[in-house]
Amino acid sequence: MDRNVQVLVRLRPISAAESTAYGQKRCLIQDSSKTLSWTGHPETKFTFDHVACETISQEKLFRVVGLPMVENCMSGYNGCLFAYGQTGSGKTYTMMGELSKDGNELSNDSGLTPRIFEYLFARIKEEEERRREDKLKYICKCSFLEIYNEQITDLLEPSSTNLQIREDIKKGVYVENLMECYVSSVKDVMLLLLQGVANRKMAATNMNSESSRSHSVFTCVIESHWERDSMTHLRFGRLNLVDLAGSERKARALKETA
């Protein structure tokens, strides 16, 4: 993890509908943990930082992608994770997956975001106990927005539409009037996710009956403070989790509504 930007490709299993329509034949073959071959003419090989196979579990993917980002953010670095791909390729499944209604238990299908926060709060507890003498404390606050037709809406307060992007010498780039909620457990985060996901713009495409038509950005600012040598130390890390709208052209993908 010594490079700033990494690209991981996740292959998803063939769906039942695809199998019925086209059979099990694949046009991509995974050659190694970093390379894929497209079996067309001419056959073409592509290399990435990682290629995750069709059968990789949500848990395993979290260990490869999510866990190192949490560790970096706790150390005061910013991290950003984008899911990019065409409609139905598995972006929302990867980023969110199944969200439990009561927010307590994660399931096999829970995606990166709930897993990241489960791990984050476990690590915070561990660190605060380990550095009790320093009076180390973490504070986390989250926001959730969507970008649709180049307009920003607050997914936690959907009446806040057309929010503006501003720049400030101290804060950097930020979205004005965006709601920020303090969170201290996976349950708190899960409730925000459920609320936000329900407010997101959706429509059916030819390849996904529950297609997210907007970009969504879930942000968590992780602040830590501790005391040493009679001084208070402060550290900030920001984690952006982005589920992009399908990368296909809208006119070709949206279902005909006669």
Long-range pairs, 100-107, Cβ under 8 A, ≥24? 100/190, 101/194, 102/187, 103/186, 103/187, 103/188, 103/189, 103/190, 103/191, 103/194, 104/186, 104/187, 106/186
Residue 187 beta carbon to Mg ion: minimum distance, rounded to whole angstroms: 24
Site map (CB under 6 A) of ligand ATP, residues 43-82, x = contact: ----------------------------------------
- Angle at CA of residue 78, ends 76 and 79, nearest 5°: 130
Confirm whether residue 87 is marked as ligand binding: yes
Which one among 58, 89, 153, 212 touches Mg ion, defined by CB under 5 A? 212
Candidate residues 34, 37, 85, 199; the one interacting with ligand ATP per rule CB under 6 A: 85
Q: Which stretch binds Mg ion (CB under 5 A): 142-150, 180-188, 211-219, 248-256?
A: 211-219
**From the CB of 59, what's the least distance to ligand ATP, in Å?**
12
Beta bridge partners of 223: 139, 236
143 binds Mg ion (CB under 5 A): no
- Asked whether the beta carbons of 155 and 199 are under 8 A apart, the reply is yes
d(CA 147, CA 137): 33
What pairing do the DSSP bridges indicate for beta strands 172-175 and 215-228? unpaired
Q: Which is nearer to Mg ion, 115 or 213 (CB)?
A: 213
For the bound state, the minimum distance from the C-beta of residue 9 to Mg ion, rounded and expressed in Å, comes to 17
List b or e across 227-237, with b for residues whose CB sees 16 or more CB atoms inside 10 angstroms.
eeeeeeeeeeb
The only residue of 212, 216, 219, 224 in contact with ligand ATP, by rule CB under 6 A? 212
Does the annotation flag 6 for ligand binding? no
User: Contact between 88 and ligand ATP (CB under 6 A)?
Assistant: yes
Q: What three-state secondary structure class fits 2? A: coil
Among 14, 30, 48, 90, binds ligand ATP (CB under 6 A): 90
Q: Is 92 annotated as a binding residue?
A: yes
The per-residue b/e assignment along 128-153, b for 16 or more CB within 10 angstroms, e otherwise, is beeeeeeebebebebbbbbbbeeebb
The yes or no reply on residue 92 touching Mg ion (CB under 5 A) is: yes
Which spans of this chain sit near ligand ATP (rule: CB under 6 A)? 12-13, 15, 85, 87-93, 205, 208, 210-212, 245-246
Annotated binding site: 85-92
